[in-house]
Chains A and B, each alone.
Chain A
Amino acid sequence: MGYRAEHLLSLLKTVAPLLLGLLGVIILALPIRLFEGAAPTPIIPLVVVFFWSIYAPAYMPSVSVFLIGILQDLLTGGPLGLWAAVYLVTQFVVMSQRSYFLGREQKVVWLGFALAAASASLMLWLVMSLMSGGLLPVGALLAQMTTTVLIYPLFGVAFGEFHRRILVEA
């Protein structure tokens, strides 16, 4: 492989988590209405940001997190900067606790993700309530975050395999 191709490949690997996050945002914008809309769509970008911030922050630079959040804000039509702030704060919190999570069991990391999702929900709810001038109902948010936390192990394993086999070794 030539030097140039190798360089391109390494760049592609570095941005692969970013692309996954952007794909997650697109999935959030698709009209998925399983069971008459009763099943909320999981927030996959949150999983992406959390996962790579813990295991390999070099693959999830803050700029990537910012881009994922901004795309989600623009695509959902919500206030600009909200999701970017939520993801970036999540990354900040996760990276400050990184040394604790590294090498722990998956169950512990899952619990960590649940806490991160809870703090993200609190932030979302506070900002949106502040903006709408009244306390908003939390039902829909809770359902969506619970779904996201429940599917985390699945995506955790899939992203782990992806990272090990494709990004690091290949």
Chain B
Amino acid sequence: MELLGQDGREGFGRRANSRFVLILLILVSILLLLSSLYSAQASVFKKARESVLDATAPVLEVFSGPVAYFNGLAGNVSDYFNVLEQNKALREENAELRQWMNEALELRKIVGAYDGLQTYRAPPAAQPIDAYVIGETNDAFARSMIVNAGRAQNIEAGYAVVDNRGLIGRIVDTGARASRVLLLTDVQSRIPVYVEGAAVEGLLVGNTKGKPAIAITEGADDVAIAQGQRVLTSGAGGVMPRGLPVGVIDGEHGDDMMVDLYANYARTRLVRIINYEFPEVGEPLDDVEDGAGEEVVAVTEG
């Protein structure tokens, strides 16, 4: 330990490490912190975040392969111990899903019949973009993931991100070839949702815990919300499409209604980013209503 106790004799370090510089940098950090409180979306910070995303994306991409391999290895070890139970559960789930499949095929036929009707016009379809998760912030409070698709793939901030289970979050920063997804569990996450069958609209508010809570914005006081009801995106605010599955109601905790998310962040690897263009207000909805449509256009232009 003797050698470790000595200061290096390099001049660079000794000069730079004065107490003055240290205190100055602490002040600079606190100033940055305060300014990011008031202008989190300031263009300078945004640019910096995006450049760092772009700079680190290739490194993350290289490492994420081996990391996934080792995750799988460690996961396999625990799987060996409960493979029988898992098999049983999967068989039961499979049987249930088969029934759903039949029902879905039946419904598809009915929807097809409706589609054939002249007066019906389908809402614009979403344009999904697939991407891999290459990074994840392992931070106690900030919860986000980095995916390997960016502006080059026409991704913009605000787009919804889903995996094979349900909504996982939304895009907040976009680099050229990588973007950051703010997860539903992050403190800053606010997603407009509604509870199926209860006529309740609200915001899903992240709180760093596994189960975010719903802050109700609209709905009668005596609306009964039962455990197990589905929670879906409401599309309010005009960013995400309506009806993306988010989770199920998991009982109340104090005043808050907790939501058990469909997403399992420990398993999210391939995601789908949903580029959804809302139908513009003022666009004529139907050829039959040509006259009415022109009127609306005139109003919006005037």
Contacts and interface: CB of A to CB of B under 8 A. Distances in A.
Contacts of B267: 33, 36
Interface string B22-55: 1101101111110111001000010011001100
B71 A136 contact: no
B145 interface: yes
A124 B172 CA distance: 22
A103 B25 contact: no
Interface stretch (B91-99, B105-113, B130-138, B216-224): B130-138
B8 interface: yes
Contact of A31 (B14, B45, B53, B68): B68
Interface stretch (B57-65, B115-123, B238-246): B57-65
B107 to A, nearest CB: 35
B17 A164 contact: no
B52 A71 contact: yes
Nearest to B266: A37
A67 B134 CA distance: 23
Contacts of A95: 19, 22
Contact of B208 (A31, A81, A103, A136): A136
Contacts of A127: 33
B60 A29 contact: yes
B259 to A, nearest CB: 16
A164 B33 contact: no
A163 B172 contact: no
A63 B208 contact: no
A76 B10 contact: no
Contacts of A58: 7-10, 12-14, 17
Contact of A136 (B1, B63, B141, B173): B141
Interface of A: 10-11, 13-14, 26, 28-37, 40-41, 55-63, 65-66, 69, 71, 74-82, 84-85, 88-89, 91-92, 95, 102-103, 124, 127-128, 131-132, 136-137, 139-141, 144, 160, 163-164, 167-168
4 nearest A-B residue pairs (beta carbon): A81-B32, A58-B13, A37-B266, A141-B140
8 contacts: A14-B13, A31-B68, A31-B136, A33-B267, A34-B70, A55-B5, A60-B17, A132-B188
